[in-house]
Structure 1
């Protein structure tokens, strides 16, 4: 091999390496057939591996999520908002992450207060105390404090999220894996909008209210936790979601919903159970309920 040939070969290899390492998501994002197989299993509530296995990259996971959302939107309508998952220290520790994970929510995932939901329609269905923040002003995308977020929202809505993990129990879920299944977004029961006072009064209210889940039939308290269990204040979840959207070249718009994440533990959904979620300390101590069959 001549010196000229050797130089050309070295330059070609360097170019190939540069392309490969600059585009890992393009090389590793699950192909359409893999997403189709996942969606078929999801529709049948059959256990299935995540499109991106534990240990994969977050770029590949978000690529898989985009493909899943595109397919879901054919039946569930357009994007209506976004969700932050793993927003508590315990949840992050359990899944081996140092920050929340990002998911997308579609219009017809949201159900009315008192809805009846069939547990058999999803793989590993769960329920949790959550909260929706409704966006009113695009200035929210530049907010850096809970008080600034308060100035840009219509209010908050009671929300019982009903995620479905889908993945078989023997398959590990870490940050990328759970992101690739759209953070388990399946359904949720949402209440009416509640106005929150501005300034310190409102920010303290959001940090200190108590989200209490009870068994509607027996009154047994299933779990309760303060708002500050979510990143110190649930409004911080809005700041985090806005930052993640900016990374994707997107932004929050008026009318968008942001699900702030679990306010307390996840619970398995059991047929025959009715639950009530009460927000002690928010204006009017609002509550919503759901029944599982």
Structure 2
């Protein structure tokens, strides 16, 4: 890991904002995340611009062991999550090749992260770059997507529940992106009916057969595709664009729950397709 960090530091000669963590500080955090050991104390005094700088430095390091970035995750997509972190809008983090490697039915060790958690989520795959000009119209956005995919996100909240969390701190750890479990893709239909189904579907998460959360599609910013249009605007403000083949994790329908060894977790989506569809993982 030391060799990886040393090599990646050479790539991080970025202009720093006043409170953007120094590359060496970010390298220590990256080493702790990859090695799953106690992280250094959180950096204090960051604003969102500083935290975005920290995120980008961290992503450059994590892409070494976890694989290239393959898309983005949108976090804080519910009013409760935004209130908890004191930010009135979502935040975006990178997802990696390793994030999407596990398929439904996989077994994942309980200690995959420092502070591992689980939440029901939903992925979309970008068909073409026209998504960047599609605006907020749901059917227009669907024309530039080719798959909707059931997804169990397995984030690593790194600093743990006892931390004095803030929006900048969450952004600085790349919104906690780590692992996920991918279900069977559903072909996108660029129709008003398909768009409506995304909003009215019910998403239930069970742990060991016991339902622990349930939410409609509208739980994500009023409609899951609103998270996508927010991300496009956020990336545009940074001079970035979504690319064909990239994935977007649209946000958690359930709050992050600590994972428990020996438990099976299943997310079931009712109303999205003709029959309910699901994605599951066993935590060992």
Same-fold call, TM cutoff 0.5: yes
Q: Which residue of 2 aligns with 1:285?
A: 276
**Counterparts of 2:257 and 2:29 in 1: how far apart (Å)?**
24
| Residue among 144, 153, 156 paired with 1:161 | 153
Q: In structure 2, which of residues 185, 193, 196 is the aligned counterpart of residue 201 of structure 1?
A: 193
Give the Cα–Cα distance (whole angstroms) in 2 for the partners of residues 247 and 49 of structure 1. Answer: 31
Bigger helix share: 1
CA gap of 1:51–1:148, structure 2 versus 1, over 3 A, is: farther
1:46: Cα distance to partner?
A: 2.7
The separation in 2 between residues aligned to 1:271 and 1:248, in whole angstroms, is 40
- The whole-number CA distance in structure 2 between the counterparts of 1:289 and 1:80 is 22
Q: Measured at CA, do residues 58 and 25 of structure 1 come closer, stay the same or move farther in structure 2, by a change above 3 Å?
A: farther
Maintained 8 Å contact 2:127/2:145: yes
Normalised by the length of structure 2, the TM-score is 0.90
* DSSP 3-state at the match of 2:158: coil
| 1-structure distance, mates of 2:43, 2:217 | 32
Superposed displacement of residue 25, structure 1: 4.5
* Structure 1 residue corresponding to 2:35, chosen from 39, 44, 51: 44
1:121 partnered with 2:112: yes
Deviation at 1:109, TM superposition (A): 1.3
- Is structure 2 residue 177 aligned with structure 1 residue 185? yes
Choose 112-121 or 92-101, whichever is displaced more: 112-121
Report the counterpart of residue 258 of structure 1 in structure 2: 248
For 1:208-287, list aligned pairs within 5 A. 208-215=200-207, 217=208, 219-283=209-273, 284-287=275-278
Structure 1 vs Structure 2 CA RMSD? 1.7
CA distance in 1, matches of 2:160, 2:81: 19
What's the CA shift string for 1:235-264, capped at 9, x where partnerless? 111111111111111101111100001112
Structure showing greater radius of gyration is 1
Q: CA deviation at 1:67?
A: 1.1
Cα offsets for 1:63-100 (capped at 9, x unmatched): 11111111111111111000100100111011111000
- In the TM superposition, what is the alpha-carbon distance from 1:50 to its structure 2 partner? 6.3
Report which stretch shifted further, 124-133 or 68-77.
Answer: 68-77
CA distance, structure 1, for counterparts of residue 201 and residue 188 of structure 2: 12
Residue 176 (1) aligns with residue 150 (2): no
Q: What is the TM-score of this pair, normalised by structure 1?
A: 0.87
Shift of 1:49: 4.8
Selected match of 2:129 from 107, 128, 138: 138
Is the 2:140–2:190 Cα contact (8 Å) retained in structure 1?
A: no
